[in-house]
Amino acid sequence: MSYLLSPEDIADLLVPYFGTTQVPASLYQKLAVYLELILKWNSRVNLTAIRDPERIVQRHFGESLFAGLHLHPTCDSLLDLGSGAGFPGVPIQLLHPHLSVTLAESRTRKAAFLQEVIRTLDLSAEVWSGRAESMPPNRHFNTVTLRAVDEMYAAVAEASSRADKQIMILGTRNAIYPSLVDRFQFKDPIPMPNSDDGVIWIAESV
């Protein structure tokens, strides 16, 4: 298969995000396929405002994978709220294939795209094609991730009710996020590679 960016190109672009962490070559192969799907669907679904393939790899894949390196050590399940084109949930699933990942996306066409990604990449992730609030009350996850979601206050409140160990927000250093319930506490933000103000905010249960 001919790629706009080869797996080797993608591997080079992701060096700042992985550092010394070793990952299998198959990860880059699947990311190359994922990138082709995004570029194919983007003209009719508007998955991302970024059109440059290298920037998609750095901004979307790199930051998502970097977040995946900071999951709680006991993480066995993850809910990606407002998953959109699958960031950070899909790259995290590729990095941790045995992790149980749920991609919550209420917009029909984006949910359809996520289903296509799962089918094409043969992932074990599931898509919740509705609002996360409509999930059964007993559905909980070790970690809940949020990145560029709409209605952040409502999303953080939902994350607080679904997460058992960790809430992870991919955001900016100066952003003001709503208060979490007492059982979660924010740690110092972790700077994103290749970003002036991008950080990961992590709140862990206390």
Arithmetic mean of pLDDT over the chain: 92
What integer pLDDT is reported at residue 82 of this predicted model?
92
18-45 pLDDT, tens digit per residue, is 988 999 999 999 999 999 999 999 989 9
First to last CA, the chain: 48
In order of 11, 25, 76, 90, 95, the CA distances from 22 in angstroms are 11, 9, 21, 19, 11
Model confidence at 180: pLDDT above 80: no
100-116 pLDDT, tens digit per residue, is 999 999 999 999 999 99
The lowest-confidence range among 84-93, 152-161, 184-193 is 152-161
Banded model confidence at residue 144, pLDDT cuts 50, 70, 90:
very high
- The fold of the 7-205 domain, in CATH, is Rossmann fold (3.40.50)
pTM here is 0.94
User: What residues does each domain of the chain span?
Assistant: 7-205
